[in-house]
């Protein structure tokens, strides 16, 4: 399945790149910016902007703040994740608290998922409650 690039939200993505949340900054500067495989920040895919994107592995990493825990947000996130997975992306989600409290565990999970995807292993995305 191919997606179209929504040019109408590119300026929003640029703005989000300039104004990352503290948790996005933490993950970017302490892990993904210098990761051996290239990641991009706030990438437009279809009508969505994903937090972090690795084209080589078709990996998307999302950092979820408190607003993602409301019922309507969960429904939106589920629809969004389903759309991205149908495009062949692997969506890995972390909560803000995970990034803030245990960046080493987050890094460990990212490393394991990247290694598996690099070896052609499509693991089932793990959704932590």
Per residue in 11-65, pLDDT (tens digit) is 899 989 999 999 999 999 999 999 999 999 999 999 999 999 999 999 999 998 7
Inform me whether the pLDDT recorded for 118 exceeds 50: yes
Closest CA to 117 of 28, 5, 39: 39
Give the pLDDT of residue 72.
63
Give the pLDDT of residue 70.
45
Give the pLDDT of residue 128.
46
32 and 61 Cβ atoms separated by less than 8 Å: yes
**Percent of the chain surpassing pLDDT 90:** 71
Does the pTM of the predicted model rise above 0.75? yes
Mean per-residue pLDDT over the chain, rounded: 87
Give the pLDDT of residue 123.
72
């Amino acid at each position: 399945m191919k997606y179209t690039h929504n040019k109408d939200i590119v300026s929003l993505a640029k703005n989000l790149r300039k104004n990352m949340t503290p948790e996005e900054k933490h993950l970017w500067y302490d892990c993904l910016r210098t990761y051996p495989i290239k990641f991009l920040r706030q990438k437009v895919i279809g009508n969505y902007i994903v937090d972090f994107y690795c084209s080589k592995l078709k990996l998307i990493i999302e950092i979820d703040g408190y607003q993602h825990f409301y019922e309507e947000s969960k429904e939106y996130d589920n629809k969004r994740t389903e759309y991205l997975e149908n495009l062949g992306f692997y969506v890995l989600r972390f909560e803000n608290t995970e990034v803030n409290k245990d960046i080493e565990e987050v890094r460990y999970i990212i490393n394991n998922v990247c290694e598996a995807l690099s070896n052609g292993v499509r693991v089932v995305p793990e959704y932590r409650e």
